[in-house]
Amino acid sequence: MNRSDSIFDTQRTMKFHLELTDKCNAACPMCGRTKEMDRCLPDMTKVRNIELDLDLIKRNFTPDLCSRISEIDLCGGLGDPPAARECLEICDYFVGFGIKVILSSNGGLRSEAWWKRLGELFAGTESLVEFHIDGLEDTNHLYRVNTRFGKIMRNAKTYLETGAIGEWHFIPFQHNEHQLADALTMSREMGFSKFRVIDTIRFGEKNGFTYQLPDGSLQELNPANPKLIDALRTDTEKAEPAAPQDQHEHRSTIRCKSEIQNRPYIVATGVVSACCWIEGSEDERRMYSKAGVDQGLTHNIRHRPLEEILLEEPYRTVYPQAWAQQANPVCVRKCARMQRSRRSSL
């Protein structure tokens, strides 16, 4: 098969987005794993408590494939990477090929010794940890429910002391916006290389979000004052442009981020997908049904080799046709109208 027939080109430099696990210590109310109106308990219709292990990774990410991979994001939609039993070993495997690993975490799991080992592994390389910390001692747990700020800080400090790169990512809300400047200062003092704010778009039309804490009390999330963030902002990322002010003035052409970056997504079940936005959506089900492929069985790295999967339908003609016809609402929203949560550095 001609490799250019697929939106993914396994002979070109690749990136990957991996969900190592769907396990998590936290219960962020706006996260897909959380039942926000039921004491932030995990939604067991989605969470299976599974993970990708080192053996499975090695089988699919062969040395030959790894030699063409520049970057792997350990993030995902439902879990925290350090919750995967072999997280450290998997990082070690990828770093051994000179791959830049970006690990996203709430920072609340594991011991200081574990974070020291991760730091020692990443030190002197481009690999980094994004610590997602949305506030200080008295506020972080209002979004990062069930986490303890003191433990997160001790883990981050231990990691950073190894000389490895760490970034502090902060989602501003009304309840933590007054702490942005202090958190920024603290991040510089601790040795974080970047402090980035995530402008969340998960409020939807209502511009408010009610949830129930584990103790049964009701809480509300409200958007931060954008002027406050703008006053601190020094640089807005060009890679993640803002959604246009006027929704009707959007660009109509879909430019698939995953195709451009040659960056597929793999979830903890082993299922391969085009990206984390389309994964599990009605759009994706339709693409797979058109392709006549059973995604769960056939496009699963537990059952078939990754490099074969990436060159098969729906990644050859089904996706490009759907884009040309504007048939995928998710693709239109994310990769034409650019309705994404924007990140920028302060």
Ligand X SMILES: C[S@@+](CC[C@H](N)C(=O)[O-])C[C@H]1O[C@@H](n2cnc3c(N)ncnc32)[C@H](O)[C@@H]1O
Three-state secondary structure along the chain? Answer: CCHHHCCCCCCCCEEEEECCECCCCCCCCCCCCEECCCCCEECCCCCCCCECCHHHHHHHCCHHHHCCEEEEEECCCCCCHHHCCCHHHHHHHHHCCCCEEEEEECCCCCCHHHHHHHHHHHCCCCCEEEEECCCCCCCHHHHCCCCCHHHHHHHHHHHHCCCCEEEEEECCECCCHHHHHHHHHHHHHHCCCEEEEEECCCCCCCCCEEEECCCCCEEEECECCHHHHHHHCCEECCCCCCCCCCHHHCCCCCCCHHHHHCCCEECCCCEEECCCCCCCCHHHHHHHHHHCCCHHHHCECCCCCHHHHCCCCCCCCHHHHHHHCCCCHHHHHHHCCCCCCEEEEC
Quick check: 326 and 332 in contact, CB under 8 A? yes
Pick out residues in 76-95 that bind ligand SF4 (CB under 6 A): 78-80
């925290």: which residue's tokens? 80
Tell whether residue 28 is a contact of ligand X (CB under 6 A): yes
Select the binding partner of residue 21 from ligand X, ligand SF4, none (C-beta < 5 to 8 A, by kind): none
Dihedral, CA atoms, 241, 247, 253, 257, nearest 10 degrees? 40
Contact between 117 and ligand SF4 by CB under 6 A: the answer reads: no
Is residue 254 close enough to count as binding ligand SF4 by CB under 6 A? Answer: yes
Look at residues 124, 127, 28 and name the one whose alpha carbon lies nearest to residue 80.
Answer: 28
Kindly identify the residues of this chain, within the stretch 181-220, that bind ligand SF4 according to CB under 6 A: none
Candidate segments 162-170, 175-183, 301-309, 323-331, binder of ligand SF4 by CB under 6 A: 323-331
Residue numbers 181-210 binding ligand X by CB under 6 A: 198, 200, 202
* Residue 264 binding partner per list ligand SF4, ligand X, none, with a CB distance cut-off of 5 to 8 Å that depends on partner kind: none
Binding mask 60-89 for ligand X (x = CB under 6 A): ---------------xxx--x---------
> What's CA 52's distance to the chain center, in Å?
16
CB 284 within 8 A of CB 295: yes
Instruction: Report if residue 274 touches ligand SF4, rule: CB under 6 A.
Output: yes
What's the min distance (Å) between Cβ of 291 and ligand X?
Answer: 27
Q: Is there a contact between 101 and 45 (Cβ–Cβ < 8 Å)?
A: no
Does 106 sit near ligand SF4 (CB under 6 A)?
yes
Cβ closest to ligand SF4, residue 155 vs residue 258: 258
Q: Which of the choices ligand X, ligand SF4, none does residue 228 contact, using the CB cut-off of 5 to 8 A by kind?
A: none
Task: Examine residue 267 and tell whether it contacts ligand X (CB under 6 A).
Answer: no
Q: Does 107 bind ligand SF4 (CB under 6 A)?
A: no
Minimum Å distance from CB 104 to ligand X? 4
Task: Report what 171 binds from ligand SF4, ligand X, none; CB cut-off 5-8 Å by kind.
Answer: ligand X
Q: What residues numbered 325-344 form the site for ligand X, per CB under 6 A?
A: 341
257 in contact with ligand SF4 (CB under 6 A) = yes
Contact region for ligand SF4 (CB under 6 A) — 44-52, 175-183, 224-232, 275-283?
275-283
Q: What amino acid occupies position 108?
A: G
343 binds, among ligand SF4, ligand X, none (CB under 5 to 8 A by kind): none
Residue 281 Cβ vs ligand SF4, minimum distance, rounded to whole Å: 9
Does position 65 bind ligand SF4 by CB under 6 A? no
Contacting positions for ligand SF4 (CB under 6 A): 24, 26-28, 31, 33-34, 78-80, 106, 254, 256-258, 274-275, 277-278, 328, 330-331, 334-335
Which residues of this protein are in contact with ligand X, per CB under 6 A? 24, 28, 30-31, 75-77, 80, 104-106, 132, 169, 171, 198, 200, 202, 341
